[in-house]
Amino acid sequence: MNALVPPPDTPFGEARNKVTGGAVYTFDFTLPHMLHGKLLRSPLPHARIRGIDASAAEAMPGVVCIVTGADTAALRDPFYGVSLRDQPVLATDRVRYVGDPVAAIVAVDEITAFRAAAAIRVDYEPLPALMTIDDALAPGAVTMFDEPTRGLPLNVGKGCTSVADPAPNVLYACSFAHGDVDRWLDQSAKVFTDTFSIGRINHFHLEPYVNVARWSGDRLEMWSCNQDPFVLRADISRIFGIGVHAVRIHTLLVGAGFGGKSYCKMEPLVALMARKAGAPVRLVLSMDEGLLTLVKHPAQLTLTTGVDAEGRLMARRADIVLDGGAYSDASTLVALKCAFRMGGSYRWRAIDARAKVIRTTTVPSGSFRGFGGTQGTFASERQIDMIARRLGDDPLMFRERNLLKPGEPYAPNDSGIDSDLVAGLEEAAERVGYRKPREPGHGIGLAIGVKDAGGTGNHAQALVRVTQGGEVMVHAALVEIGQSAPEAMCRIAAETLGLPLHRATYAAVDTDHSPPDNGTHVSCGTLVTGLAVEQAARDARQQIVQFAAQQLGCDAGEIVLEGWEARRGNESYPLEPMIRRYYGGIGWEFIGRGSFKEPYYPDAPMGARNLSWMPCWSAADVSVDRETGQVTVHKLVVGSDPGRALNKQVCHGQVEGAAIQAFAQALFEELRYRGEAPENATPLTYRVPRYRDIPELFESFIAEHRLARGPGGLKGIGEAGMLGIAAAIANAIEDATGASLTAAPFTPERVLAALDALSAK
């Protein structure tokens, strides 16, 4: 450890800027002579567009142009999505959900654009709405798409399948399997089948979707709140048919995303608006529109699990049905990961998990913090608890008997678990008072979630530049979305170079100057980009040592860097004057280069071994009002393992923030449909957690097991807190009342129904 780098709880510059209001987000960015955009959205869930009359809007003073689906005909490939591309830049012949963008207005200000949108007339031919999975799969149901989906299904490894368009209104189907499930279920002493469901929620990030686009000839420059600048650059290059270096993406601070700002969203449309207007255009979605842009997948999961006579898990079959909404977005990835994670944290002789994504005329579903892990963990950890209680076993002991050990592969040909799962679960149990007598009317529940962190085959490059004065500039494409990415990268570089942290600066993310990566998601930044930064810093350090050795006429092995001095034996030599003497007044920079890429490995289920494993240990102490069905969480405990914490305050913040998101989804948060339209898709009616909702006792803990592959044993934890909370609360409700909740959120109505069902037995 570099003694010059402050301890992990020391505030970093970016945090101070955020607290004092000095931080600059894309929302704050403006350009001279910038125009403003607004969208006209479909009021119908499913309809053909027979015609659009924008003449009245175009004639309004201050309106510059109107963009419709007809304008997308000039694009080379006007569709986007992850692996499977079905979402049009703008609706052309059909709308597929209430809120589908139909036209874009560019005007001198937002008020004018908003008024012009109201003047546009659209002639719709209504089509049958498919509001639920059952509607979409019903015999004779109308198909939402007439043509096969563009793109290719995801590449997978051994034991997995991946298929596009396997049936009408089924976007995607995939599976993950190993071992002979039928054999091991037949040999099980007990077999249990249970069905679970989880609702749709919105990301509800405080910074709205915002993009600014400007063309200079055939070159596009964009300022975006997107988490994945190089992914976005590639998508826009393909859509517009221009080279990737004809697209420049600037990414400022992002005001949270939780997966909602991953991959392509509004950006191609804003670029098209700017090109037609011939001027810079800014499009900011309202929070109402954000609720109609992307949600987390609602899911139905049926698990069949076998246990032997000693209480050891044998085999599991899982059937997962995800509601993908109107368009693909990242549904392929979410489905595949959900299937892959259905074994949870446990040891199995066989697994067979199958997932499919159903198209419905609802808001598109996509990536959300946890990426299929929350849906899978809720079902898995609920059933684990239910099985233990049915067997008369202690839920904690049942889990510990079956948990994977450090180094044990999660699946055949995959990497080993890099956390002590039992130790973390024991700490959560101790903190919640699991072994102490329950207070009257209280119940305690535990849960453990684990997801692969770092993605499959993810990669990053980095540059570390060191000036003659020992100032450090770190260049990478890791985006700051609230996880303190600049601080983490600067700490890694400073530690490696042996320099004070205050000398390190994180360069602005700009695809013209930043080395590429494949996005800030799946908690890969600290690990994947961190390894690239560490390598780049080592490269720069080696160059500095070699330069000093040359100047002092000795071998590089004789040189020891101490701060910004080179020591040879008992003599220390300041580096700055040495460099200036050799290179002159302008000076010199040592530029280190680094990269990381986990190689593809076809025998691994995901096509590459997973980089690390992100655990979430959760515990809840609850009581239930049997008259009203109201659940009160008295104490909530959540913990995770970052391997090595670069900043413990940030780690606690990440885990606690995710836990409260999961807490809300467990108890009340849900984007609900009434008939053919959302009934609470406004910031005033969409219920998110308030300060007074937080349990009176709320603890987080950070376990540093230092078993991961990142610099000093670190890994990511950004999604961890989402994984186990809902199951822990449901398990606590059952412990308190005996009533079994299998559908989230656990509204009073559902709790009362579960209590009634229990009484009827």
Share of the chain above pLDDT 70, in %: 98
What structural domains and CATH numbers belong to the chain? 33-129+204-292 (3.90.1170.50), 295-403+414-455+603-760 (3.30.365.10), 459-597 (3.30.365.10)
Helix residue ranges per DSSP H, 323-477: 331-340, 373-390, 395-402, 421-432
Residue 455: pLDDT band (50, 70, 90) is low
In this predicted structure, what is the pLDDT of residue 454?
A: 66
In this predicted structure, what is the pLDDT of residue 655?
A: 96
Say which residues have a Cβ less than 8 Å from residue 140's Cβ, sequence separation at least 6: none
The region that residue 563 occupies, defined by phi over 0 for left and psi between -120 and 50 for alpha, beta otherwise, is: left
- Element (DSSP H or E) covering residue 18: helix 13-20
Q: Report d(CA 289, CA 475) in Å as an integer.
A: 34
In this predicted structure, what is the pLDDT of residue 1?
A: 39
In this predicted structure, what is the pLDDT of residue 9?
A: 46
Q: Report d(CA 343, CA 317) in Å as an integer.
A: 9
pTM of the model: 0.96
pLDDT 10s digits, 507-518 = 999 999 999 999
Q: Which of these, 151, 216, 187, 234, lies nearest to 518 by C-alpha position?
A: 234
Residue 585: pLDDT band (50, 70, 90) is confident
In this predicted structure, what is the pLDDT of residue 13?
A: 63
In this predicted structure, what is the pLDDT of residue 524?
A: 83
CB atoms under 10 Å from CB of 222, counted, come to 27
Burial grade of 70 (CB within 10 A; 0-12, 13-18, 19 or more) = exposed
pLDDT 10s digits, 142-170 = 999 999 999 999 999 999 999 999 999 99
In this predicted structure, what is the pLDDT of residue 586?
A: 83
Structure tokens at 344: 């949870």
Residue 22: pLDDT band (50, 70, 90) is confident
Higher pLDDT, 19 or 568: 568
Q: For the residues 199-223, what does the mean pLDDT come to?
A: 97
Residue 6: pLDDT band (50, 70, 90) is very low
Share of the chain above pLDDT 90, in %: 94
Per the prediction, the chain carries an average pLDDT of 95
Q: Which of these, 494, 463, 507, 506, lies nearest to 563 by C-alpha position?
A: 494
In this predicted structure, what is the pLDDT of residue 19?
A: 84
In this predicted structure, what is the pLDDT of residue 2?
A: 45
Q: For the residues 468-472, what does the mean pLDDT come to?
A: 96
Q: Report d(CA 143, CA 164) in Å as an integer.
A: 15
pLDDT 10s digits, 294-315 = 999 999 999 999 999 999 999 9
pLDDT 10s digits, 616-653 = 999 999 999 999 999 999 999 999 999 999 999 999 99
Q: Report d(CA 181, CA 178) in Å as an integer.
A: 8
Unique residue bearing structure tokens 């009827």: 760
Burial 365-401 (b: 16+ CB within 10 A, else e): bbbbbbbbbbbbbbbbbbbbbbbbbebeeebbebbeb
In this predicted structure, what is the pLDDT of residue 5?
A: 47
Burial grade of 217 (CB within 10 A; 0-12, 13-18, 19 or more) = exposed
pLDDT 10s digits, 320-350 = 999 999 999 999 999 999 999 999 999 999 9
Residue 522: pLDDT band (50, 70, 90) is confident
Residue 587: pLDDT band (50, 70, 90) is confident
Residue 3: pLDDT band (50, 70, 90) is very low
Q: For the residues 669-698, what does the mean pLDDT come to?
A: 96
Q: Report d(CA 167, CA 145) in Å as an integer.
A: 12
**Which stretch of 3-7, 215-219, 241-245, 656-660 has the lowest confidence by average pLDDT?**
3-7
CA distances from 586 to 319, 422, 470, 563, 582 (A): 65, 57, 14, 22, 11
Structure tokens at 573: 């030599």
Q: Which of these, 172, 177, 171, lies nearest to 157 by C-alpha position?
A: 177
Burial grade of 687 (CB within 10 A; 0-12, 13-18, 19 or more) = middle
pLDDT 10s digits, 350-373 = 999 999 999 999 999 999 999 999
